[in-house]
Every structure is written in C-alpha cells, then in structure tokens.
Amino acid sequence: MTDGSAIRLRVRGPQGVVQVATDSIASWNDLKQQITEKTGVPDFDVKYGYPPQPLNTESIDGAVKLSDLPIKLHGEQLIIMPHNNIQAQLSNPMSGTKPPPEAVKPLPSQQTSAPAHRPGDFPDQPLNLTRKQQYGNVESDPPEIPVPALDGALVLRVMPDDNSCLFRALSSAVLGSALDGMTELRSIVAQGIQAQPDLYTAGMLEKAPSDYCRWIQREDAWGGGIELAILSQHFDLEICSINVQDLRVDRFNEGRPTRCILVYSGIHYDVCAVTPFSGAEPEFDRKVFEVVRSGDDDEAMDGGALDAARELCRVLQGRHYFTDTHRFTVKCNQCGVGGTGQEWAVQHARETGHGDFGEGDS
C-alpha cells in the first residue's frame, strides 16, 4: 500500500459493518478477498451509494485496479448480499461453531425467567392463535428510534402469525433469511435436547424428550424460552427478549460479544433491526450487534441498540402491541366457544382436540 493512494471504506454484511483498508493499485479480486475474510461471506452481490444501487460485479474483471473502477470507493459504504445466506453464516466463526456440550447449559436465570410462552405449556397438538388485526398498524406504520452510533434507526421487523414467529425472527438475524432457516433452527433445538439428557428431562420439557424433539420440528409448533436458550448457545451470541407488556428483558447466553434483540408481545415474537435509512428494504438490516464490555456497563456499549429497543417497546406498549395471556379473550375458531386466557385455550384443546384459536374482542 505504498504505490497508490489509500482507500478506506465500510462494508455492511449480515453481521454488521466492518472497516476495509486497501489502496488504489489493489485489484478487484484483492478487495473481494478482504471482504470475504472480514465478513465470512464467500460469494455475494454488492450495492453502493445512497440510496443503495446495484454494482454490476459480474462485468468487473478480477484483475482490474480499484482506481479504474467506475465508482470512487474511498469513503464509500458497500452493502453485500450473500448468494447463499445459510452457507455464509455457517462458515462464519461468529455463528457457525457449535460450543462443547458443557457450554450449552442455560444459566439458572434463563430457566426461571424465560418468557411465559413455552411449547411445553401446550398439548401435543400445536395450537394456532391468531392475533387481532389491529396489531397490523405497527407493520404499516412502524415506529423508528434513531441510533446515531450505528448510522441508522432501530425498527421492528414484524413476523407472520404462523406459529413459527420465533424461528423466523431469529433466522432472519443469524442466517439472513426469515424463511430458509426455520427448519434448520428447529433441528438444532432437537439436537441440543438429545445432546443433554440430564438437563432436558421430561420434567423440564413436560413431555418425553423424544416426543418433544418430534413436536418442535413440526412447522406449527411454537417456540419459546427453551428454544432461545439452546439457539443462543449454538450460535454463540446473547439473545435479549423484551416483553412489551412490562418491558422486562430476558437474556439468554448472557455475556457473549454479540447480541440480537427480539420483541415478545405475549403470543408472538418479532425482531429488532437497525436500518440505514427510513423505508430501506430489510435486506439492508443489521440485526446482530457487537457488545464491548467495560465493567458492569455493557448495555450502552452495543452502539445503543438495546437502549433503543427498550424505547421502541415503550412506544409499542403505548400502542397496546401485546397480549395479556392471562386475561385476554379467546375464541375457538372451530366450534365458536370462547373463554379467557391461555390456560382456558390449553384446557379446551385437551378436551376437544381443537387447535385453532383467535384473539377475541375484550
């Protein structure tokens, strides 16, 4: 880097933003190699500028000097989009290395303060519970909380009501896709349970471990605290789940150098993301945040993401974007009978075999 002018740029990938330094006489292949080394993404498309526009990388000869490219790279931010999100994440040591068995046990606080929504709370036939349509206005008019240190604003990415919301939300964060990774995450949970029979007993799971493993791999089985504990350990990151109703933060695998943030609204999970500009497509999101720890003050050292997420949840709380699972009105969509609370729905399902419920009018 002595014969050409210096080039410094930022690269936004699935795990966040990294800095890249090179010079003008380096080749396009040299830059691509640096990007791969820093992001763990071997094959990708590129967007640049504001608003982002595609860079036709297929037409660029690998040997061309960076100074001869049609765009000025110094000071630019490139957004890379993996061709194969799952392969890219598994090749990234930040998320693809499975910890040893002794490291997979949830902390005691995770076993006692997990979100109330757990698959073990329900009968063998998974329940389908549809939220009120009024919640949809959060998706059409989402609140945004500025996060200057992360060059964007924190927003809520709303997941579909299909009993896979937890897996969709987490998959979008750690695998780059809300759809492609759901089956993989369910399989990881089953493997984690089978690998630790002394921890994941019938008493904890409220059913035989083998039955639970079959159950959780069904596409209509809900996930909750047990799943978050296992998946946070597998991907070696801290998962913060914020309960909208009381703003409680449940932490799984606490103390790791990266975190993602989920929002729990009683019967549903969504994911927090930092978007580079208002209205940007989700492909530009950042959903995994680095945490720099200094003494006991770690919350302010993630660029402000967790503080912004708490503020976002206060706004959601004001819009009543939550379901009180103990007191809300439930209606069975199969027979029309209504009742109050999650426990009534579970009991009705056990007595009738019905599994399709809707949130009724209070």
- Burial-class residue 302 by CB neighbours within 10 Å (0-12, 13-18, 19+): buried
Active site residue 162: yes
Number of helices and strands in the chain (H, E)? 11, 16
Active site residue 335: no
Rg (CA), the chain: 22
Q: Among 23, 117, 165, 236, which one carries the catalytic annotation?
A: 165
CB 224 within 8 A of CB 256: no
List phi, psi (to 5°) of 146: -60, 140
Q: Among 250, 268, 270, 272, which one carries the catalytic annotation?
A: 268
Per-residue buried b or exposed e for 113-146, using 16+ beta carbons within 10 Å of the residue's own CB:
ebbebbbbebeeebbbbebeeebeebeeebbbbe
Under DSSP, the state recorded for 115 is -
Residue matched to tokens 């040893």: 100
Q: Give the count of alpha carbons within 13 A of 81, CB side only.
A: 16
In sequence order, which residues have a C-beta less than 8 Å from that of residue 4 and are 6 or more positions away? 23, 24, 25, 26, 65, 67
Compute CA 281 distance to the chain's CA centroid, rounded to the nearest angstrom: 16
Active site residue 260: no
* Alpha carbon distance 145, 362 (integer Å): 30
Task: Please give the structure tokens belonging to residue 199.
Answer: 């921890």
Q: Among 43, 61, 68, 162, which one carries the catalytic annotation?
A: 162
Active site residue 354: yes
Task: Please give the structure tokens belonging to residue 190.
Answer: 């089953």
| 64 closest CA partner among 91, 103, 27, 22 | 27
Catalytic residues: 162, 165, 268, 354
